[in-house]
Amino acid sequence: MKNNNEKTEMNKNISEESNVTSNFIHNIIDEYVEANPDNKIHTRFPPEPNGYLHIGHAKAICIDFGTAEKYNGLCNLRFDDTNPTKEDEEYVNSIKEDVKWLGFDWEDRLFYASDYFEKFYEYAIKLIKKGKAYVDDLTPDEIRGYRGTLTEPGKNSPYRDRSVEENLDLFERMKKGEFEDGSRVLRAKIDMASPNLNMRDPVIYRIFHATHHNTGDKWCIYPMYDYAHPLEDAIEGITHSLCTLEFEAHRPLYDWVLKECEIENPPRQIEFARLNITNMITSKRKLKAFVDEEIVDGWDDPRMPTISGLRRRGYTPEAIKDFCERIGVAKSESIVDIALLEHCLRDDLKLKASRVMGVLNPLKVVITNYPEGEVEYLDVDNNQENPEMGSRKVPFSRVIYIEKEDFMENPPKKYFRLFPGNEVRLKNAYFVKCNEVIKDENGEVVELHCTYDPETKSGSGFTGRKVKGTLHWVSAEHAIDTEVRLYDYIMIEDEENEGEMKQNLNSLEVLTNCKLEPSLSEAKPGDKFQFLRHGYFCVDTKNATEDKCVFNRIVSMKSSWKKKK
């Protein structure tokens, strides 16, 4: 029998090989299932509707819904809308769309914490009657002052020992709206000397004369998260309440609320590490600032790490779920390399996306010995690695475009692409040789004259000679004009402050004169392709018009991930 450390090490090795990572939550639930074979596992995903979901939430969604799926249980979608000030219907709708898009289903279990306001109130009355809660008249500043520090105990509020009757009366009047915002709160009566600051008589209700998106003006007292959340879980019959690590120190309060409210079969809170990714922001507050300051063109800007941004960029739910699977579920904080997310995307699209030719920075090439007016339709596989994807016809003619960077007049050694006198292969077509370079009055190369060798047609079995370079190209007469957007990360390393990130001011490059092969005229918003040598691209869902597509680059071809490993 191996000891525990060796076992963890072993699991890690297995997971690296098979891409199945261990999940400590499942180990806990396994034990629960063994002890309670008749209970259904019930989890929930509880977003606060104060912003769009980001990649970190995708991890939480995969854990909440994925765990329920694994144990044949249920997972609720619950809007944790107990704070009236920052919430919005737009966010509610986007969250629903994102969860669905990831492929999860809450069936008929869509809930709002605000639907439970009445019940929270009743439980508060119960706590007051048990002598476990009191109305405090201290100001927020005074409460802070009385709280003590990590090394010093707090002090009891002079209002702590009010009678049950007085507390009931004051709390009811708080509810009726007799008092100003901030003038009174309801606090749990726990222990002002507790080493855990969260247990020093936490505030559980505050006065807030604000209109709530769901309950309107019905309430002017609102419950605090730490009080409401365990009750929400209990009301919905949640068995395992999975959340991020910052709630670990709040768990004693979570358990206290359930115990003092006398909840039978209380849910169990389990914390896991938040997802952090290099070059990505995973804080709604900061992402909202990007939107508000118009640094991006909305929550779904293709550079945003929001689920809607990733979707618009061209990410697939499969790639995101694969990523969440691979990073596993652990209790220690870490930062995941964004290269892993990109690797998952390439891996998913590799066999799904048609491989087509697109020239991003065109240079005109005339094949002088190719008959004028002639067009050949070459048979090209849509995806060499996936024959099921069939083939298409790609036109070849006398005038084509190649990539500007695929030609150099004075190349360095080992440059295998086109230069005067050199011969290269045109992908799926012929060998061509460069004979003449045409320049404009500024000396810039504007056109090349080449000749082709009819013997070298792709697929003809020609073995006469070999060439080292293969270029992609597009027939000029048949090309589709399009705009392509290339993206860089919006956060990059700050060279001046080691370890710090800064905003990238050049995260968007718009190329307006791109030429694509004509098969792409059928492309619809959201369709994804591999452009040979350039990476994966997706038709933008917002900027595309009837006669013009805009393509977003999802990710380039190169993977830095494998090399790093």
Strand partners, 403: 362
CB atoms within 10 A of CB 422: 18
Instruction: Supply the angle between the helices 55-70 and 89-101 in degrees, to the nearest 10.
Output: 60
Task: From 438, 473, 478, select the one nearest 452 (Cα to Cα).
Answer: 473
Task: Give the list of residues 6+ apart from residue 7 with CB closer than 8 angstroms, or none.
Answer: none
Cα(16)–Cα(527) distance, rounded to whole angstroms?
32
Task: Give the list of residues 6+ apart from residue 132 with CB closer than 8 angstroms, or none.
Answer: 188, 189, 260
Cα(265)–Cα(466) distance, rounded to whole angstroms?
75
Task: From 408, 360, 354, select the one nearest 519 (Cα to Cα).
Answer: 354
Cα(187)–Cα(156) distance, rounded to whole angstroms?
12
- 186 touches 203 (CB < 8 A): yes
Angle at 512 between CA 489 and CA 364, to 5 degrees: 120
- 269 touches 201 (CB < 8 A): no
Q: What is the DSSP letter of 147?
A: T
| Single-letter amino acid code for the residue at 321 | K
CB of 11 to ligand ATP, least distance (A): 21
User: Is the CB of 306 or the CB of 552 nearer to ligand ATP?
Assistant: 306
User: Is the CB of 218 or the CB of 286 nearer to ligand ATP?
Assistant: 286
Does 284 participate in catalysis according to the annotation? yes
CB of 226 to ligand ATP, least distance (A): 13
Strand partners, 74: 42
User: Is the CB of 100 or the CB of 129 nearer to ligand ATP?
Assistant: 100
- 522 touches 510 (CB < 8 A): no
CB of 312 to ligand ATP, least distance (A): 19
User: Is the CB of 269 or the CB of 428 nearer to ligand ATP?
Assistant: 269
CB of 46 to ligand ATP, least distance (A): 6
Q: Which two tokens stand for residue 426?
A: 């045109």
User: Is the CB of 244 or the CB of 386 nearer to ligand ATP?
Assistant: 244
CB of 159 to ligand ATP, least distance (A): 31
Q: Find the catalytic residue in 284, 398, 528, 553.
A: 284
The residues binding ligand ATP (CB under 6 A) are 46-48, 56-57, 59-60, 243-244, 274-275, 282-285
CB atoms within 10 A of CB 178: 13
Cα dihedral 339→345→347→353 (10° resolution): -140
CB of 90 to ligand ATP, least distance (A): 15
- 510 touches 480 (CB < 8 A): no
Q: Find the catalytic residue in 86, 126, 274, 457.
A: 274
User: Is the CB of 56 or the CB of 66 nearer to ligand ATP?
Assistant: 56
User: Is the CB of 344 or the CB of 429 nearer to ligand ATP?
Assistant: 344
Collapse the DSSP code of 232 into the 3-class scheme (helix H, G, I; strand E, B; otherwise coil) and give the result: helix
CB atoms within 10 A of CB 353: 24
- Residue carrying structure tokens 């056109």: 447
Q: Which residue is closest to ligand ATP by CB?
A: 56
Does 122 participate in catalysis according to the annotation? no
CB of 285 to ligand ATP, least distance (A): 6
Cα(495)–Cα(516) distance, rounded to whole angstroms?
37
CB of 23 to ligand ATP, least distance (A): 14
CB of 288 to ligand ATP, least distance (A): 9
Binding region for ATP:
48-50, 54-60, 244, 274-275
Collapse the DSSP code of 364 into the 3-class scheme (helix H, G, I; strand E, B; otherwise coil) and give the result: strand
Binding region:
48-50, 54-60, 80, 225, 244, 274-275
Does 48 participate in catalysis according to the annotation? yes
Binding region for L-glutamine:
80, 225
Task: From 58, 29, 61, select the one nearest 45 (Cα to Cα).
Answer: 61
Cα(335)–Cα(313) distance, rounded to whole angstroms?
22
Q: What is the DSSP letter of 3?
A: -
Cα(65)–Cα(61) distance, rounded to whole angstroms?
6
User: Is the CB of 82 or the CB of 482 nearer to ligand ATP?
Assistant: 82
Cα(514)–Cα(557) distance, rounded to whole angstroms?
18
Instruction: Tell me which residues are annotated as active site.
Output: 48, 274, 284
